[in-house]
């Protein structure tokens, strides 16, 4: 499995799929998740990690999206930060 696939597998399990498979998630949240998946798939592993950290730091748009995810009671990148940082470290990236 590629590093990109490992990152996406993790994010699908912890963030994306619970939203995409939810009958109560708003259309806006589902569309945002699909767009995030597309954007991440356009990057290599290093770019995916940069994208993840940029989303946490937050632009105005990503901050609003994260607030909406929280309001709808879904896991955001922020809730996975500790496990993500430990699992997808620089050491992992260079291995």
Contacting residues for 16 by C-beta, under 8 A, at least 6 apart: 33, 36, 37
Query: pTM for the full model?
Result: 0.91
Asked if the model's pLDDT at residue 62 lies above 90, the reply is no
CA dihedral for 67, 69, 71, 75, sign (positive or negative)? negative
Q: How many structural domains are present in the chain? A: 1
Asked if the model's pLDDT at residue 80 lies above 90, the reply is yes
What's the domain range around 21? 3-94
């Amino acid at each position: 499995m590629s590093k990109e696939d490992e990152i996406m597998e993790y994010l699908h399990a912890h963030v994306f799929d619970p939203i995409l498979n939810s009958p109560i998630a708003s259309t806006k949240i589902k569309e945002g998740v699909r767009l995030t998946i597309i954007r991440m798939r356009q990057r290599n592993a290093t770019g995916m990690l940069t994208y993840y950290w940029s989303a946490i730091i937050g632009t105005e748009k990503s901050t609003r999206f994260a607030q909406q995810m929280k309001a709808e009671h879904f896991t955001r990148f922020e809730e996975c930060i500790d496990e993500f940082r430990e699992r997808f470290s620089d050491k992992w990236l260079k291995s």
